[in-house]
Amino acid sequence: MSDKNIGDKVAGKADKVSQRLVNLYLEAEEEIRRQLVEAISRGLNLGNRLQVLDSIRQIVNELTGSTRNWVEITVPEFYKNGVKEYQDLYKGITPLEGIGGVDFGLINTRVVETLMGNAFLEFGEAIQGVMRSSTAFINTATRVQLRDTIVKGEIKGSSIRNISKEMEKIFLDKGITAFVDKGGRRWSLSRYGQMLSRTTLMNAHIEGVITEGARHGVYFFEISSHPHLSDVCSPFEGRIFDIRTASQDDLPLYHPNCLHVLIPRPDLQSIPK
Ligand SMILES: [Zn+2]
């Protein structure tokens, strides 16, 4: 199997299992939107504001729990697949385990724990972003309502309907944002979650490949090449690096829709000049 096929296969599988999580996020977004619109149409007195934020907090808590479960199942699975992926390449190489007294069982556990921990934090931040964004939205809506009341001197009826319309527009324009990236782009939870879940799983796979390589004393890896539209990985294709000295910057494989994989190079003892 070519490395492009491996990348495709891992990415395809990652997308498939990510979809379960993304569907939960999509449902949650729809429910939050429904609750916000409803709260606005009821009128945004303090009681209603607290009530709607409370029910959004419940949705957010549930999402945190489901995301945790998802991470705990999928990350170890993708890591293990990474460990297995190139096993044929290591046939005939005696693993360090046992002879060097290195406990790779323990190392695997630690790496998986770290990967899961990082994923919890990243997803957690995005989910909390939904809470912050919803609170900000409600506060904006309340100010709009207040302004409208002052201008028109009325509280009920047409005033609330106008606000609903205006807020609906603000909501549609901006949506509920989970994450703002460095370029200032706003991501919804479902879109960001889709990117994050795939990246998380591809990353788990790659870490499995690296650790299994280290178990066999293989420290040189090549970044796979395949025809694709130019992206951040393009300058790295075919590059060989030593995992013991490589920094995070040597490994660009963490962008959306990345199909690049690491190929262990047991045949190398140094980086070819
Ligand atoms: Zn890539």
- Looking at the predicted structure, is the pLDDT value of residue 173 above 70? no
- Looking at the predicted structure, is the pLDDT value of residue 155 above 60? no
Quick check: is 106 in a domain? Answer: yes
Of 272, 233, 266, the C-alpha closest to 94 is 266
d(CA 240, CA 255): 19
Which range is least confidently modeled, 131-140, 165-174, 234-243?
165-174
Strand partners for 180? 186
Quick check: is 232 in a domain? Answer: no
Quick check: is 113 in a domain? Answer: yes
Question: For the chain, what percent of residues have pLDDT higher than 70?
Answer: 89
Look over the chain and give the mean of its residue pLDDT values, rounded to a whole number: 86
- Looking at the predicted structure, is the pLDDT value of residue 103 above 70? yes
Max avg pLDDT among 9-23, 91-105, 244-258: 9-23
Cα 114 to ligand 1 centre (Å): 23
Quick check: is 177 in a domain? Answer: yes
Cα 3 to ligand 1 centre (Å): 12
Quick check: is 39 in a domain? Answer: yes
Quick check: is 246 in a domain? Answer: no
Report CA-CA distances (Å) from 57 to 31, 62, 68, 128, 130: 12, 9, 17, 9, 9
Cα 194 to ligand 1 centre (Å): 16
d(CA 133, CA 139): 10
- Looking at the predicted structure, is the pLDDT value of residue 121 above 90? yes
- Looking at the predicted structure, is the pLDDT value of residue 205 above 60? yes
CB 221 within 8 A of CB 85: no
Number of domains within the chain: 1
**Residue 35 pLDDT class (50, 70, 90 cuts):** very high
Cα 2 to ligand 1 centre (Å): 16
Quick check: is 261 in a domain? Answer: no
Cα 252 to ligand 1 centre (Å): 7
- The vertex-213 CA angle with 209 and 219, nearest 5°, equals 115
- Looking at the predicted structure, is the pLDDT value of residue 3 above 80? no
pTM (2 d.p.): 0.86
Cα 258 to ligand 1 centre (Å): 4
d(CA 205, CA 198): 11
Cα 254 to ligand 1 centre (Å): 7
Quick check: is 271 in a domain? Answer: no
- Looking at the predicted structure, is the pLDDT value of residue 239 above 70? yes
Report CA-CA distances (Å) from 182 to 54, 132, 179: 30, 18, 10
Q: Please give the structure tokens belonging to residue 83.
A: 């460990």
- The predicted pLDDT at position 253 comes to 62
- Looking at the predicted structure, is the pLDDT value of residue 163 above 70? no
Domain interval for residue 86: 3-217
Higher pLDDT, 182 or 170: 182
Higher pLDDT, 32 or 98: 32
- Looking at the predicted structure, is the pLDDT value of residue 6 above 70? yes
d(CA 39, CA 48): 6
Three-class SS of residue 220?
strand
Chain centroid to CA 213: 26
Cα 66 to ligand 1 centre (Å): 29
Mean pLDDT of the region 52-70: 97
Higher pLDDT, 34 or 164: 34
- The predicted pLDDT at position 209 comes to 93
**Residue 82 pLDDT class (50, 70, 90 cuts):** very high
- The predicted pLDDT at position 93 comes to 87
